[in-house]
Structure 1
Amino acid sequence: MALHTLLGANGTIATELVPILIENKESIRLVSRNPQPVKGAETMTADVLNYEQVLKAVQGSDIIYLLVGIQYDIKAWRRDWPVIMRNVIDACKAAKAKLVFFDNVYMYGRVNGKITENTPFKPVSKKGEVRAAIDTILLDEMKAGTIQAIIAKAVDFYGPRCTDKSAAGVLVFDRMKQGKTAQWFINPNVPRSFNYTPDAAKALYMLAVKDSTYGQTWHLPAVSPALTGKEFIHLAAKYMNASDKVQVLPSWLLTIIGWFNPFMKEMNEMMYQNKYAFEFDSSKFEKAFNFTPTSYEEAIKATAEWYRQIPADLRR
């Protein structure tokens, strides 16, 4: 029975991953600055910016998942992400543990066509530049053979238990729950890929426990072809018993909102993902594991059922 340690144990993906680890009778250690107790898992407090704390937190681990999310601010990203990556890599080496890094796709930039694991890094955003830099740190270590690691990439996600960290959750399901019109950024007429969080967590575990997957980048499962914003909202409305009308948030309005809202100001540079077709290819994973991503119909239905059943004050 291997010890699986989750750095960033309070996040969306960790929430989905823990039941899978329990079901597979794995030993689990949950690590964050304020880890929440979970039956069947041990908890440990650590700050990933402090190497000694990270080293202590991962001792005895077989597999370490880097699931950390930090403040959505470019100054914080530039300051903290390289430190986090270095600390985790060095701690993994010291503990002789494998690393699974849950990553995003900002480093690819705007891509014409489907985004694959072979798509070159051409960031068009400041945050994309940071992600390209920390990916390169880890990739160089992987190529040098100094660490056994996986980079597992995901786009924006949605699913049950996924609320304020999900654009689809905030703009679509939550607004429908409140009887409001669903919203979409900039262009609801182009395809926009999403990862379904239960699928992403299953895939992380499947990758983590198979030796041959290490030393590679993997895209976590996403349905292809992707739905447009209007198609996504139409399906959500079906299962939320809501209107499928959509309120489009144009780029000029988002700029104005950003004058007063720091998060939206930070989001503006990523809006190319909504203005143009944004299609994520996970066929490498699907072929390797004979895995079929949960259909939009089934996933949206499950997400809608969760939103409809859970009181608003318990979704945060």
Structure 2
Amino acid sequence: MSAAPTAVLGASGQVGRLVLDALVAAGHEAVAVGRTAPRDAPAGVTVRVVPSYDGGALTDALTGCGAVVATLGLPYRSTVWAAQWAPLVAAVTAACRGTGLPLTFLDNVYVYGDAREPLRETTPLRPCSRKGEARLAGWHVLAAHADAGHDVVVCRAADFLGPGASLGIVPWPAVVAAAGAGRPALPWLGDPDAPHSFALTTEVAAALVQVALDPSMRTDTVLHLPAVEPTTGRALADALGRVRTDGRTVRLRALRSPVVRAAALVNGAAREQAEMMYQVEHEQLVDDSVVRALGWSAPRTTVADVAALAHARAERDARVSRP
């Protein structure tokens, strides 16, 4: 493990900011690199703002670092992803090639498409959405980087759940609200009885740090990050109801495909979600057995753990809001 600092690309994003926290908590130096500076970066973190990821600016920003963790994102629009994702990945791999730095790249599972079995590192890549096709184009860039002999591990994560995850099947602010006072409904995209795998954002960040800095975790080019115990929308709502101090149940508000397709006629966000509904209208499970065999030793997070985390956040928010 290098004593040089670890660069975090996309450090202002929902996971990048958590990676900075995880590095600092583990006693490592960190350099936050991005087109904007992260808000409230941990003390001691060096911040390097680049005008873009193209050209020599990124290479310069990585000078003096010992490893790179990329947690990059783009606006959630398929046209943007199709035009910009592969070039962005190419710019990052070029900078790592120029500096000789190992790359740990955060990705999602869109490249697998509508697979009807647990997703493994060996599952065929058959995207069935425009966003999945864009991710596949990015994967080809990363695979070529690996084939050329460069050190890269692509870490694929299930849908995010937890601090910082404001979008997705069930946004974290909605989960926190459901765990607190009042009677909010818990929104859920898709079939509320279809089991689904999530990745807790704080675990994603910690696992990225471990993969980046522990050579024994870098045995292959693709690695699935730790996943929460599979759950359903109904099970999550029940778990949130059990942690509430007022004893009230949490109502579930499921948004099924016909509703999303109808909303897509007039709403841009719904149009972007419509092509991804294949993920949530039937079971989608992510197999994380490889990362656990390699050394991820934390006990599996359960839906009860998620509810307790949300309740603790709701209680903290309530204390802050009191006069």
TM-score, normalised via structure 2 length: 0.89
Give the structure 1 partner of residue 157 of structure 2.
154
Tell me the residue number matched to 2:313: 306
User: Please, which moves more after superposition, 54-63 or 42-51?
Assistant: 42-51
> Residues 266 and 114 from structure 1, CA distance in 2 versus in 1: closer, same or farther, beyond 3 angstroms?
same
Q: Distance in 2 between matches of 1:248 and 1:165?
A: 15
CA displacement 1:40-63 (0-9 Å, x = unmatched): 101011144422221222122211
Q: Which position in structure 1 is the counterpart of 2:259?
A: 253
Over residues 93-150 of structure 1, what are the superposed CA-to-partner deviations in whole Å (9 max), with x where a residue is unaligned? Answer: 11111101000000000111210101010001111011111112111221231x1111
Q: Which runs of 5+ in 2 are unaligned?
A: none
Contact 1:9 1:30 in 2 (8 A): yes
For residue 139 of structure 2, what is the aligned residue in structure 1?
135
Q: Is the 8 A contact 2:105 2:152 kept in 1?
A: yes
The answer to whether the Cα contact below 8 Å between 1:234 and 1:244 also exists between their aligned partners in 2 is yes
Structure 1 residue 223 and structure 2 residue 228: aligned?
yes
Which residue of the partner structure matches residue 200 of structure 1? 204
My pick for the range that moved more, 291-300 or 66-75, is 291-300
1:72 lines up with 2:76 in the alignment = yes
Q: Which residue of 1 aligns with 2:19?
A: 17
Label 1:285 to 1:313 Cα distance change in 2 as closer, same or farther (>3 A).
same
Secondary structure at 1:199 match in 2: helix
Of the three residues 35, 40, 46, the one matched with 2:44 is 40
Once structures 1 and 2 are overlaid, which stretch shifts more, 303-312 or 255-264?
Answer: 303-312
1:163 and 1:193 mapped to 2: Cα distance? 15
In structure 2, the residue matched to 1:239 is: 243
What whole-Å deviation, never above 9, does each CA across 1:234-272 have from its counterpart, x for those lacking one?
Answer: 112222445232122121211222233212211111111
Partner of 1:27: 29
Q: Structure 1: which 5+ residue stretches go unaligned?
A: none
Structure 1 distance, partners of 2:214, 2:268, is 41
Q: Secondary structure at the match of 2:184?
A: coil
User: AA paired with 1:157?
Assistant: F
The number of residue pairs the alignment matches comes to 311
- Alpha-carbon distance in structure 2 between the residues aligned to 1:175 and 1:252: 25
Q: Which whole-Å CA distance do the structure 1 matches of 2:161 and 2:244 have between them? A: 15
TM-score w.r.t. the length of structure 1 is 0.91
Q: 1:262 to 1:213 in 2, by over 3 A?
A: same
Distance, in Å, in 2 between the alignment partners of 1:299 and 1:183 is 16
The share of aligned pairs that are identical, in percent, is 24
Tell me, yes or no, if the aligned pair for 1:2 and 1:62 is still in contact at 8 Å: yes
Give the stretch that moved more between structures: 39-48 or 124-133.
39-48
RMSD: 2.1
Specify the SS of the correspondent of 1:203.
helix
Pick which of 130-139 and 300-309 moved more: 300-309
Q: In 2, distance between residues paired with 1:73 and 1:265?
A: 9
